[in-house]
Structures are given as C-alpha cells and as structure tokens.
Structure 1
Amino acid sequence: MSLAFNLAWRQLRSQWAAGEIRVLLLALVMAVAATTSVGFFTDRIQSTLARQGAMLLGADAVIVADHPIPPRFAEEATQSNIQISHTLEFPSMVLSGERSQLSEIKALGEGFPLRGALLIQQNGGVAHEAQGIPAPGTIWIEPRLANSLQLQEGDSLELGNSHFKVSAILYSEASRGGDMFSFAPRVMMNAADVQATGLIQFGSRVKYQLLLAADAGAMKTYTDWAQPLLARGERLQDLATARPEIRNALEKTQQFLGLAAMVSVVLAMVAMFLAAMPYVQSSQDSYALMRCFGASGKLISRILLLQTLMLAVIGSALGSLLGFVGQLGLGWLAGKLFVETLPAPSWQPALAGFIVGFATLLAVMWPSLLRLRNVPALHILRQDIALPSWTALWQYTPSVLLAFGLIAWHAGDIKLALAAIGGFSALIIAVLALTRLLRRLLLALPQQQSGAVQLGLAAIRRRPRLFMAQVLGFSLGMAALMLLALIRGDLLHNWQSSLPPDAPNRFVINIQADQLDAIKAFFKQEGLPTPELHPMVRARLTAINGKPLDIASYKDERAKRLAEREFNLSWAADMQDDNRLLAGQWWTPEQAGQPLLSLEQGIADMLHVKLGDHLSYDVAGQPLELTVSSLRKVEWDTMRANFFALTPPGVLDAMPANYLTSLHVPRDRENMLNRLVQQFTNLTVIDVAAVLEQVQAIINKMTSALQYIFGFSVLAGLIVLYAALVATRRERVKEATLLRVLGASTRQIRQSVWVEYLAVGLMAALVASLIANGLAFYISQQVLNIPFSFNWSTSLLTIVLAMILIPMASWWVLRGFLRFSPREILHST
C-alpha cells in the first residue's frame, strides 16, 4: 500500500505541475463550492424566513386551548430550556363614559412576544418597539378603538370591574397573524390584572395560549412529545397551521431553494464528466509505461483509487471553504437588505459538500478507472486510445444513479425530483439522437465547402462522440440555468400579483340584504370603487352520503374542528380568478338552481369527501342536500374573500343570508371606515392591514432571497461551465497545431473553431430551451401550483448568447497557444 500511495502522490504532483489535473480539481472545487455555498446560504435564509414567519405568531409554536392549559406542557418546556410565555384572549365590552365598544382583550404574561416585537406610540411620538408589556393598571389600545371612543393617552377606560389608564397606542402586534380575522379592535393588558376585572367566569369564551420558542431541534423534540398528549379543545399551532398564505410562500421558497441546489448538482456533474477527459488522456502514457515495467492491474487500480481519494479530500476541503467564504458575502448583503443579521450557518452543508465531493468524483471517475487499469503497454507506441465505445456506456450507470439520487435529495419533493430526472433524461436522449442525425447529414453532404467551414464540419464528422459530449454538457448546463430563470420569474410574478399594493386590507361583515344598495351608494359617494359583495349562509354539515356525521371518527384535530363548526356557504355564477378547478366541472348558466356544490380541495381531503358525494346540511332548521360537482384549489394568499363551499345561483336564495366584502383602504382614507360604521351600525370591520404588512414584508424578503440564490447559482454555473470548456483544450490545441503544420492560417483555424462551436451552441441551446420550458411548465403547474407563461424572450436570448459566447469562449481558450510555434507545442504535449 505504501508503494501505491507514494506512486499516487508523485504522479498527482507531476500532473499538477503539468497542468493536466487542474481542470478536474477546479471542476470538483467549484462543484463542492456550488453545493456548499447554496447549502450554507439557504440554511441561513430558511432559518431567517422561519424566524420572520414566527413573528406572526409571536413564537415558534403555540399551544392553544379553550380551557386553562395543563401545567405539564409548561413544565416540560422549562425543563427542555424552551422559552415560554402565557396569554389570554377573550371578547369584552369596554366603556368610556357613555360610549362603548366590543373589543378583543389580550392579557400578556412576562416575556411576550418571544418572536417579533410590539410597536407602540407614546407621548405623541413616532411608533417604536415596546420594551416589555403594559404595566399593571394600564392598557394599550389600537388606533381604531381610540378613534371610535375618542380616546387619547392618559384617558381612563372601564373594563369589567376595573378602570385602566391608556398608556400607549398599539400599532403593530407580532402575534396577530395566528388569528387574523379578529372581529374587534385590540386591547392589551397585563395578565396580572385579569382577575380583578371579574370578566373570566364559568362559561366565558377564553382562548388560552402557551407560547414557545427555541431552536429548531428542541422545538421538534418538544412538539413530537406534546402532540400525542393534546386533549379535546387543545391544539398545537405553528406557522404552517396558522397562516396558509405564509405556509404556501415558505413551501414555494424552499422548493425553489431545493431547485437551485439541484441545478448546482447537475452543473457540477456535467463539468466533472468533461473535466475527466484530459485527465484520462494525460494519464494513459504513464500507466502504459508502468505496464511495460510489469505493474499489475491491481496495483494500477490502487494508485488510481488513492489518487481519486486524494483529489476528493483536497477538492472537497477547498470547495467547502470557498463555499463558506462565498456565502459570507451573500449573507452580509442579505443582512443589510433584511436590516438584520442572519443566523450562523450549521455544519451540515459542509458535511453535505464532502459527501457530494467524494461521491461525485468516485462516480464520475469510475469509467475512467476501468479504462486506465486496463490500458495496454502498446499505447506507448500507438496513440489511438479514444473515447469509450457505445457498448461501454453501462460503465456510467453508477454516475447516472448518483446524479438521480442527488437530484432527489436536493429537490426534497418527489414530484419535483421525478420531473427533473425525466426532463434531463429526455434531454440526454434528444442530444444523442440529434448528434447522430447531424453526423449522418454531414457525411451525406458533398465535401465542397470553403476551407474554414469544411474544417469546422470535418471536426464534427471526425469526432462525433466528443461533439456529442460537448453538446450534452452545454445543453444540460443551459437547461438547468434556464429552468431556474423561468421558475424564478413565474414565482416572483405570482407573489407580486398575489399581494399587489392594493390588496384588500379590510373585511366588512354582517351586511344585510336590504343594505346592499345603500352600501354601494356609500362607496360611490366616497369616491371609492364599489367592492364585490359576497353572500354568506350559515349551515352545519349533518351527513355525508346519508350517513350521519361522526366527528369522533376523524383523527386529525383540525378535521374535527371543521366538521363540528358551522360552514359559510355562498353562491357564485363564475369562479374567481384566484381559484383553480382540480376535478369535476364548473356549472353552466343553465344549471342555476340545481343542488350542486364546489368544495375547496383541502377541506374535502380533510373530511374525506370526494367528487360525487352527497352532503347534507342544516340551514337554520331547513334541510339542504348538495352533490359535490367540483373540487377547487383556492389561493388564500390573495387576501380576497373566498369560501370553502360554493353553490350555483338560485340554490340558497330562500335561505337567510348576510353579505361580506374585502376592500383596500388607503392610509389617508381610514376615516371613511368610521363614517361607514356610524351610518351602518350593525357592520363589523375586520382590520388586517398590520398582518398584511407583515405578510408582504416576509414575501419581499423571500423574493430577495430568491434573487440572491439565483444570482449565485448562475455565477457558479458559469464558472463550472467554463471549467468544462477548458477541459477540451488539450484536444483543440493538438488539432490546431497539426493544422498549422499542414499550412492552415490562424484565420482559418479561428473560423473553423467558430463554425464547430456555432453548431455546438445552436444545437445545445435549442435542446435546452425545449426541455427547460417543458420542465418549467410541469414544475410550475404540478409542483409549485403557480401559473406558467412561456417566455419567448428568455429562450431567444439563450439561443443568441449561446451562438455568440460559446464560440468566443472557445477561441479565447485556444488563442493563447497559437503564439507558440508548432514545434514547441508538440514537444510540450
């Protein structure tokens, strides 16, 4: 083993000095750097996004109950070094002289909020972050309560048996995201004052909350412990269950980050395959000479394996270090952008980088190892060992399997992984077929072209497998980057359109049917567009397919809550543009009045309802039976009024109904809401502006994260693709030198290179555009659930740039060697 190690190390040093192994090492370093840098940065971004999302809850997780939470939950959290805080929420009337207002009271325990901050205004100054909670005997109130009751700081407010001093105006609440649709303005008080008010008695509607905050590992351990212990009326709430629009945005961000890491893997594998070619070519003479001196195939195998491991250690270490340094700059920029410091990265991306480095290098080098261990001694005399034959393609099976495995690992989603594997497999098949077809066409063409064109086309005819490898490498690289660009564009457009600047920030409910005309007239008088008014009928689900509803049969706690609560039924002639039909058919105008029902897919799955089922409802004592005719996907993150259950017009007309609407109210028009409530005293206005701002801020940060990740992936991809281009330099230099010996001019050589690589770039770009758009369409529609729009400009730009930049880059790599005489170059090789 010592002999093999010494020979491996010496040969590695000599190959490094000669420059042959540098391309392979560079490719490996950049492969690991791309993987680790994206890994480090996405790890930090995901931590930040999760933390930002937790601000909407005021914690990482919350245990919510309709009764006092058993002490064991807080005790276990304390023992596990998890931060805790308690809150109580309940509705109550507040009094100020002769005026009164229904309010949502929130009593805070010490430490609230565990995530995020409370913004308050005091002494007429600007809103600032609160330090602590309201002092005993004082309260904080929202501006709309202050406007409604004409209160200022220092005024007294009666709450139950106690009087409190208004010490601040509450402008932003960290935990409002978990309960966005609260029906009344917020009043915050100290939990120590609750008992004195006498408001909490037997039968009171109180929501008890235990807020929890810790690192991800500790929280997962705790939630896994707590979930099975939750009793009736208790539930564990986190970001995924609290805010569907944030959950959707987080899921899409994580899927895109996985896509970016997957692209890095594809680029790395392509570059390393091509970079292995000059390494193998330069090593053949050395191993043939060793065979002449009696070296066995077993010794050569050991040397090759040790060299591969040495390269893997060096490349993985350098790549991980470079990836860590690279993400520091991005982290600094992102920190400046987010106006906060990103958390430190974990060590897992570095471990993943080493695993990827070792696995990819061994898999990529395996076919080469098989060829070199059996190189004949005759190779010293005959320099005709070429690329492996078509029958030897089975040797690449480990590489293909590893590539598929890495794609699946980085994708993190089975549909995304299968789509990528299928798309890239189709690309490989298309390139193989097209390159063989092109060679046959070239062979059939008459050989009467001008000198430069003839030389360029002759190179394609003479080396079809090298041409195929180049087209395959460039097309895979371009397809991966195009896929990332297309998905990124669709995803950002979807986010921007889902929460535009004029997204609804107020909901108005309890509108009566006889008030519709007056409401429309009010908005017209105020100079505002008339909002869409949606009917709503309260109904309770009683049976499915004639079988009485058994709430206890549902294991999921959320399903039980949905089954036992009243449904809000509505009707609509047309489906809203933020809804998407998944199954069944939307009704036609002729079907008005027929007992049909369109259900949201999520609630249908939760209640085990499928297309064609018959649902029985009780509407104020009147039985109603509806047949599920369609299932819809609802984009809840549009903030518009939406319903789980819809019927055609004419089905619910005889049922008691009221109306609701969602609208956008500019900051300078908020007084209009006071006039609306004064004119229609039965209306309730739900303010979601603060939550909307938090949601918009999180989405903006996700957008910035995607921009940085995309930019870095493109940069890494360009560097890796350049390494793949340099990998064919040895072959190009030899050919150009021989052409010069035979009398070709530098101009003819340059033109022949342009012709050959123009064909490479054109074919690679065409295949890449076709596959990337097909993949982007599938991933957008089936994985990310966002609209897809074919981007002609991106496809045309890719084709034009490929036809210009690939020949230019190839000539730039080659031109430096043409300054030397053919004799010098031939002697050096």
Structure 2
Amino acid sequence: MPGFVADRSAWSGLALVFKLALREMRGGLRGFGIFLACVALGVAAIAAVGSVGRSLTDGLAAQGRLILGGDLSYSLVQREATEAEQAFLAARGDLSSVATLRAMVVAGEKGSALVEVKAIDDRYPSLGTLETDPLLARDALGATDGAYGAFADPVLLARLGLKAGDRVSLGHLPVILKAAIVTEPDKVVAGVGFGPRLMISQEALKASGLLQPGSLVRWTYRLVLPPGADGDAALASVQTTVKQAFPEAGWEMRSRLEAAPRLAREIERFTQFLTLVGLTALLVGGVGVANAVNAFVDRKRPSIATLKSIGAPGGQVVAIYLLQVMLMALIGVAIGMALGATVPFLLSTVGRTLIPLPLEPSFAPLELALAALYGLLTAFVFALLPLGRAHDVPVTALFRAAVQLDRRMPRRRYLVALGIAIAALVTVAVVFSYDRWLALIFVAAAAAVFLLLRLVASGLMRLARALPRVQRPAVRLAIANIHRPAAPTPSLVLSLGLGITLIVTLALIETNLRNQLTGSLPAEAPSFFFLDVPGSQAEDFRAFLAKEAPGAKIEQVPMMRGRLLTLKGEPAESYQAPEDVQWVLDGDRGITYSATVPENSKVVAGAWWPADYAGPPLVSFESEIAEKLRLGIGDVITVNVLGRRIEARIANLRKLEWRSLGINFVMVFTPNTFAGAPHTDLATLSWPRGQIADNALITREAALLRAAAETFPVVTSVRVRDALQAVDDMVSQLALAVRAAASIALAASILVLAGAMAASHQARLYDAVVLKTIGATRAHLLTAYIIEYGVIALATAVFGFMAGSMAGWLIITRVMRLSFDLSPMSTILAALVAVVVAVGIGLAGTWRILGQKPAPYLRDL
C-alpha cells in the first residue's frame, strides 16, 4: 500500500482517498442494511409525493380541454346568457352549454335524495366520451309518453334501491332512469358535490319547474376553437375580445390552461404537507444513519489506527470514510428514487379509485432530484459528527479492541461543516416549499423536538446516575444500562420520541378535523338548509315548516349570487389577497340584504343603516375577511348581480360565528340595493337540542325531508348530517394519504430502534457473558432489559404525548384556525402502543444474546 506523503498535490491526495475508499468497500455492505433502509424510506416518501403531485399537475395541464369541456368556459349564475352573448361566442367556435343545480328526486315509497342535476344540450360532450351502463346515446334523454329520460350516478341507484327503467320525480317532472353513469369527462371541474349526479336534457330542466326567478342555477358555456386557430395566442385573443365586447356580463371565465385553478393550488399545498411528513421520515431515519455510522467507525477503528500509524493525517482518514458513507447514502438514495418514481405508474393502473383525478404518470426529474438532495444532505448532516470523531482515533486503538470510541465532540472544522450542512438543508426545505411560512414552522419544530429529546435523554441518564444504589440486581443492572458509557439511551429516546410525537400529532389533527366537521355539531347548528324557495311561495313554505316541525327554529332570508369585480377600484382578478381568503374573490358568492343586523352577527366597526334607508347602496362586510383584504369603513366595492354592476360603500364590519353552521354571508347589502330583483329565499330549520332523542330525531328528519320534497318539489332540501357525511368522506380520503406517508416515518422509527439495538449488540453480548459467568440467570437479564426499555419508553412517551399535543394544537389553531380538542384517550392509546412496540423490539434484539454460551466470547476478552 502506498504511504502518505505530505507534499502530494491536492488532486493526487483526492485520487488516493477515492482509491482507498473504494478498495475498502470491496468487502460489501455488511452493517449498512438499516442505514440504507432509513435513507431509502425517507427519499422514497418524498420522491413518491413529488412524483404523484407532478403527475396530477401534468394531468390537469394535459387534460385541460377535456376537464373544462372546451378551450374556454364562461359561466353565469341565476341567468342564462343572452342571445347576443351566445351568438358572439358561437361565431368563434363550437359552442355548447350545460346547466347545473341542486335538486331533490322523489322515488315514491323508496324515499327522496338530494342530487346534483346536470342539464346538457345536444352537443354534449364536445370533448371526451360520456359512458353509461347500458351504453346509450344522448337521445335517450328525450321525452317518451310525457316522461324524460335521465342518466344517474350508481350511488343514487344504490341509495334509493333503484335500477334502469324505474321512475322518479324531479320537481314537477316524471323522469325515467335509463342508465347508470360510468364516465363523465368533465366531472373534475364540477368539484365536490353534496349529492350524486343526475343527468338530464335542458328540455327536461325547463319542463321540471326548477327554473324559478332567482334559482341558483349555474349556466356554463364551453367554446371549442376551430382547428388551426386554437393555439395559446388565439386563446388569449378570444379572451380579450369577449371581455371587451361584454365588460358587464359578470361571467366567470376559465381557459384550458387553468381548467381547475383551485384544485391545482390544493394539490400543491397538500403535496407540500405530505413532503414535510416524508421529510420527517427522513429526519427520523437520520438518527438511524448516525447510529449506523457510529457502529461503522467502531468497526473500522483498527483500520483507522493502521492508516494513522503509516502517516495518514486525521483529515484524510475522515475523508476516506466520509466518502464511503456518502457512497452508501447514494445507493440508498438511488433505491428511494426508484421506488418513488414508480408510485404514479402504480396508481395509474391499480389506484384510480383512490385518486379520482386526472393522473398523467411520468418521470419527474426535478422532484426526484429534490428528493435525492434531501437524502444526501440528511445523510451528510447525521454522519458528520460520528465521522468527525474518527479524526482523533489513536494508534493505540490497535491494542484496545474492547474499548469504546471516545464520544467527545469532534474538532471545530467538523462542527463548522455541520452548521453549513444544516443551513443548506433548511434552505432547501424552505426555498422549494409552496408555503414557506409553513416550512419555517416545520424546521423550527423539528429543531426544537430534536433538542428537547436530547435533553430528555440527558436528563434520564443523569437521573439514573443519581439514584441511590438498589439492592435487587436486575433493577440495579437496568439503571446502570440507562446511563453507562455508550448507552443506546440517546438513540432510543430520539427515534422513539420522534415516532410517538408524529403519531400523536397526526391522531390529534385527524380527530379534531372529524370532530369539527362531523363529530360534534354546535348547539345551535341547523338540521336542514332549504334552497331555492320561490319568493311567491316563501310564506307558504314557512307555514309548512311550522306545521310539520312544531317548536323548531326557522330562519329565512333572501339570497342571490354576486361576484366581486373591484375592491377599492382595483380589479378582483389582480387584487393581492392572502391564500386563505382568495375564495372570496374566486367565482360567485352568496349575498343577501337586510334592514336589521342578521343573527350570528355582531357589528364591530361602523354603524348599521336605518331600517328605512333609501340612499346609495351600502354593504356590511365580515370583519376578519375585510382585514385580510385590507378593506375598511368607507371603501368602495363593485359586485355583479344578475348582469348588473352595483357599486357599494362599506358602512360597517361584522364579526360572524362561522362554526354555528347557520346562515352567514360575507356581504350584506341595504334592502334598496336590489329593489325589484328576482331572487329566492334560503331557509334553515333547527330542532331544539336535547328535547328529542337521536333515534326519534332521525325519523322526524326523514319524514320532513320526504314531505318537503312532495309538497314543494322545486325546493332543494339539504340535511346537514348528509352534507357533513360528504365532507367526512373527503377527509377520510385525505387522511388515507397522510397515513400512508406517516407510516413510512413510523417504519423509519422502528428501523432506528432496531439499529440502536444492533449498535449496542456487541457491548450487551459481553455484558451478558460476564454476568452469566458470575451467576446471573436468563430471568435476571430479561427482567433488567424489560425495566430498562420500559423506563426509557415510558419517559419518551410522556414527552411524545406533550410534544405531539403541542404540535397538534399549533396546527389546528394557528394553521387551520379551528378550535382544539385534546382527545386524550386516543392519543394516550397511540403512545402506549408505541411503548409496547419499543419494548418488544428491544427484547427481540436482546433475546438471542441471552442464549449465547460464555466460552467463545471470554477468550476474546
């Protein structure tokens, strides 16, 4: 072997480092199994999340025309486009239209159900294919013997026990269910609905009686540009032309380039959240990396001492083994990238039901490169400290094989390099995040948890060291194992603490979301919402509710749809607004008018107008949203209602009780603003809480739902329980993705625990051999190990419960802005399960030690 010469050139020294590192690696990857698994798992999680997110984003972009149903889409609420508007659009391409609304279907004795009605024209679908079972053409929706045909979502058929050929009522119209819908090409753009789809013709919609003045019907006009004139430049030209021709139309415009902008934003946001969960898995695995590198350096002490004995500088020795470790990390990263890259392709073939979104599986080089960067930086950060200690391994280690490596901090140069590496990892995590503030919170929380867990481990070891001498040998041995030199206590506390913290945090988030959305309704929450109550039948409908539900609280207000056009003179589409209130500016909002302050509202700034106010239009704005939109008393906003442009000055700000689930509007106008405008009423009904048993309440709700559908067929009844169940289903799908990502972090925790056990295997083996030689039985040793692991796991579980509860509270109250419920039973149960798993892993790792014969090992002492 060539010696180490001080005057070698830098390139020559680097070549020697590579040569020696590669030569030593010929012996294989023994001892690096957990190291590789920890790196590969974390990288795989981040790569999979990034690849799936990219595939979904690409799917939205590639299938934009199909999702939108055309190149351009113009939608209006509560009114159809005028003949002039339709003619103008039709002159620029192939024009088709659909109308969507919520309504009730009645199936006689089988009951009634809320449905999302979609009325299509002769050209539907302009793009894509509508598939039904049995396969029928659009002509099947025509009239036969006074009844129109319909295609129904299979969920509707199953819910009411219906089949093809059965008759139902929609409004005043008898409808024959001709087939079940298999594929609806533009389903994604419709968003989340509160009921199954019922597809009819527009002729049937007009005959149903559902089109009342002010009804909440959305008319959407899809324009397919002619071939050769459908490029991006032509698209922009048509958009500009239409906007200039009808500046007051008030329609919401979308193009194929942004077919579902809100969905795209939510995909990016949820992808980042899952990426942070994957990064948590990588950080947990980092503890396993540190354990593996510590064990690696321990095994290489004779080689390190040999290199130093022939003149190798400490820095060059560290470089040799750092190169080996990073090459091992590169192998783990490659495995993780390969696994993560395959996930979109697996989902596209076997997981379509899990992700009912346009998925375009593809190779995502940028996302995979980012995952690789995370993996390599994490491996470097966690490997540097144990490798830095190798700099000062003495030559005398050749003669002291049974002596542990000094665990003091390495030299300053390695600490500086560690600081730079940590800064690089934090920078990457923040710079490449969709929400950088959330990324900073994650970084701060991760640093705090690591520091606190290290303090917990140190405190536990100090406490064990300070305890008085115990008479029972097994207990004394357990206490000594906790604080002895090179004890695995810090590694066990770190890995187990991170795992329990993550379990508790996710359990609290999911539990609180379910409780907020479905679990516990507020005391004053309504049982029903009734939409599209015709103004001519408003009093009759209120009398009907009072008769059918005596003692119930009834609230009824006028309702229209309006779209914000300008705020303080600035167009809404270019107005800079925080992400959490962007929904106010996107699309149409429900609005109302009132002479008095509405229920669930409290004026916090300005004054309410007189009941007989007859001056220029005024508006009351919700206070928190107004603050985020930088609006105040006296500012002017412009809304479009029924194609009419209305300018109003903000007269006061109101604080709303959103959690009541009652009737709440962001904007309330003076009554004279909409004098003579057609509108419908919105009504709610609330049963008196605690006066009706749950079973009886469900029966009464079902009876009222059926009576309302039969007596007022054009009124849409929404039962709050059903609406919350739809939300709960959506939360369950999101929770499934979170659990999948979190399970990787938990698997990394288990691997780290196993690695910590493996790292201390040799020392425990010698301890067991010596103790058995002087008379210790297997029962004594087993009892000692149970106490040791039980104490460490219990102390760590207490910390994990507290840290996870704090993290869950911060996310629920500060990020999601919801009220927080600790739900201690579920989180304590999760922590206890983790304790049992930790003790089980610890015992499994030491069980083989207990059966070893002393003689072979005593010869090496």
- Structure 1 position 268 matched with structure 2 position 300: no
1:814 aligned to 835, 841, 846, which one? 846
Once the two structures are superposed, residues 20-64 of structure 1 have per-residue CA deviations (whole angstroms, 9 ceiling, x without a partner) of 333323333333334344555666678889999999865798455
Contact 2:134 2:179 in 1 (8 A): no
Q: Which runs of 5+ in 1 are unaligned?
A: 76-84, 92-102, 120-126, 154-165, 191-204, 213-217, 678-682
- Structure 1 position 320 matched with structure 2 position 331: no
1:377 aligned to 395, 410, 435, which one? 395
Letter in 2 for 1:569: Y
Contact 2:59 2:360 in 1 (8 A): yes
Match of 1:157 in 2: none
Match of 1:575 in 2: 600
Contact 1:53 1:239 in 2 (8 A): yes
Tell me how far 1:687 sits from its aligned partner. Answer: 9.2
Once the two structures are superposed, residues 70-98 of structure 1 have per-residue CA deviations (whole angstroms, 9 ceiling, x without a partner) of 999989xxxxxxxxx7424689xxxxxxx
2:381 aligned to 351, 358, 363, which one? 363
1:644 aligned to 637, 648, 666, which one? 666
Contact 1:36 1:350 in 2 (8 A): yes
Letter in 1 for 2:296: Y
Once the two structures are superposed, residues 208-262 of structure 1 have per-residue CA deviations (whole angstroms, 9 ceiling, x without a partner) of 43379xxxxx999999999999845475438999999978976775465344323
Using the alignment, how far apart are the partners of 1:728 and 1:596 within structure 2? 71
Using the alignment, how far apart are the partners of 1:564 and 1:338 within structure 2? 28
- Structure 1 position 112 matched with structure 2 position 132: no
Once the two structures are superposed, residues 378-414 of structure 1 have per-residue CA deviations (whole angstroms, 9 ceiling, x without a partner) of 3323535322339976664345435545654786433
2:328 aligned to 304, 311, 328, which one? 311
Match of 1:33 in 2: 44
Once the two structures are superposed, residues 266-293 of structure 1 have per-residue CA deviations (whole angstroms, 9 ceiling, x without a partner) of 3222322233221121122211111112
2:541 aligned to 519, 522, 538, which one? 519
Match of 1:461 in 2: 483
Contact 1:57 1:239 in 2 (8 A): yes
2:512 aligned to 487, 490, 503, which one? 490
Tell me how far 1:810 sits from its aligned partner. Answer: 1.3
Match of 1:536 in 2: 558
- Structure 1 position 753 matched with structure 2 position 753: no
Using the alignment, how far apart are the partners of 1:128 and 1:704 within structure 2? 33
Contact 2:63 2:358 in 1 (8 A): no
Once the two structures are superposed, residues 147-174 of structure 1 have per-residue CA deviations (whole angstroms, 9 ceiling, x without a partner) of 5565678xxxxxxxxxxxx999999985
Contact 1:262 1:411 in 2 (8 A): no
Letter in 2 for 1:112: S
Match of 2:829 in 1: 797
Once the two structures are superposed, residues 471-523 of structure 1 have per-residue CA deviations (whole angstroms, 9 ceiling, x without a partner) of 123212221232223223333555545999x98685133447x954x423323
Q: 1:9 to 1:451 in 2, by over 3 A?
A: same
Using the alignment, how far apart are the partners of 1:454 and 1:225 within structure 2? 83
Using the alignment, how far apart are the partners of 1:562 and 1:398 within structure 2? 43
Tell me how far 1:420 sits from its aligned partner. Answer: 2.5
Tell me how far 1:7 sits from its aligned partner. Answer: 2.8
Q: SS of the residue aligned with 2:406?
A: coil
Contact 2:65 2:259 in 1 (8 A): no
Using the alignment, how far apart are the partners of 2:394 and 2:423 within structure 1? 30
Q: 1:311 to 1:49 in 2, by over 3 A?
A: same
Using the alignment, how far apart are the partners of 1:90 and 1:797 within structure 2? 50
Letter in 1 for 2:423: L
Q: SS of the residue aligned with 2:821?
A: coil
Q: 1:72 to 1:714 in 2, by over 3 A?
A: farther
Contact 2:528 2:717 in 1 (8 A): no
Match of 1:20 in 2: 31
- Structure 1 position 766 matched with structure 2 position 791: no
Using the alignment, how far apart are the partners of 2:600 and 2:769 within structure 1? 69
Q: 1:494 to 1:340 in 2, by over 3 A?
A: same
- Structure 1 position 550 matched with structure 2 position 584: no
Q: SS of the residue aligned with 1:726?
A: helix
Q: 1:429 to 1:309 in 2, by over 3 A?
A: closer
Alignment of 1:644-793 (within 5 A): 644-645=666-667, 659-661=681-683, 672-673=708-709, 675-676=711-712, 701-711=733-743, 713-741=745-773, 743-793=775-825
Q: SS of the residue aligned with 2:492?
A: helix
Identical residues among aligned pairs (%): 18
Q: 1:380 to 1:463 in 2, by over 3 A?
A: same
Alignment of 1:368-407 (within 5 A): 368-382=386-400, 383-389=403-409, 396-398=418-420, 400-401=422-423, 404-405=426-427
Using the alignment, how far apart are the partners of 2:727 and 2:765 within structure 1? 57
Once the two structures are superposed, residues 709-746 of structure 1 have per-residue CA deviations (whole angstroms, 9 ceiling, x without a partner) of 45555445434543444343334334434444555433
Tell me how far 1:347 sits from its aligned partner. Answer: 3.4
Using the alignment, how far apart are the partners of 1:7 and 1:731 within structure 2? 29
1:7 aligned to 2, 20, 43, which one? 20
Q: 1:753 to 1:187 in 2, by over 3 A?
A: closer
Using the alignment, how far apart are the partners of 1:708 and 1:326 within structure 2? 12
Using the alignment, how far apart are the partners of 1:701 and 1:541 within structure 2? 31
Match of 1:300 in 2: 317
Tell me how far 1:781 sits from its aligned partner. Answer: 2.1
Q: 1:453 to 1:389 in 2, by over 3 A?
A: farther
Q: 1:509 to 1:254 in 2, by over 3 A?
A: farther
Contact 1:499 1:696 in 2 (8 A): no
Using the alignment, how far apart are the partners of 1:772 and 1:499 within structure 2? 26
Alignment of 1:56-95 (within 5 A): 62=73, 67=85, 86-88=95-97
Contact 2:592 2:667 in 1 (8 A): yes
Using the alignment, how far apart are the partners of 1:54 and 1:739 within structure 2? 75
Contact 1:508 1:686 in 2 (8 A): no
Q: 1:407 to 1:504 in 2, by over 3 A?
A: farther
Tell me how far 1:779 sits from its aligned partner. Answer: 0.9
Q: 1:354 to 1:420 in 2, by over 3 A?
A: closer
Q: 1:152 to 1:794 in 2, by over 3 A?
A: closer
Once the two structures are superposed, residues 630-684 of structure 1 have per-residue CA deviations (whole angstroms, 9 ceiling, x without a partner) of 4558589x7x75311359xxx979997974226899699668435326xxxxx86
Q: 1:259 to 1:524 in 2, by over 3 A?
A: farther
Q: 1:635 to 1:268 in 2, by over 3 A?
A: farther
Using the alignment, how far apart are the partners of 1:553 and 1:331 within structure 2? 38
Contact 2:49 2:275 in 1 (8 A): no
Using the alignment, how far apart are the partners of 2:774 and 2:417 within structure 1? 38
Contact 2:282 2:745 in 1 (8 A): no
Contact 2:607 2:651 in 1 (8 A): no
Q: 1:634 to 1:809 in 2, by over 3 A?
A: same
Q: 1:51 to 1:498 in 2, by over 3 A?
A: farther
Q: 1:413 to 1:499 in 2, by over 3 A?
A: farther
Alignment of 1:572-651 (within 5 A): 574-575=599-600, 597=620, 599=622, 601-602=624-625, 605-606=628-629, 608-610=630-632, 627-631=651-655, 641-645=663-667
Q: SS of the residue aligned with 2:300?
A: helix
Return the TM-score normalized by structure 1: 0.70
Using the alignment, how far apart are the partners of 1:818 and 1:219 within structure 2? 74
Return the TM-score normalized by structure 2: 0.67
Tell me the C-alpha RMSD between the 2 structures.
Answer: 6.0
Q: 1:821 to 1:566 in 2, by over 3 A?
A: closer
Of 781-790 and 227-236, more deviation after overlay is shown by: 227-236
Using the alignment, how far apart are the partners of 1:755 and 1:710 within structure 2? 29
Letter in 2 for 1:809: I
Q: 1:12 to 1:172 in 2, by over 3 A?
A: closer
Letter in 1 for 2:37: L
Using the alignment, how far apart are the partners of 2:561 and 2:364 within structure 1? 53
Q: 1:262 to 1:456 in 2, by over 3 A?
A: same
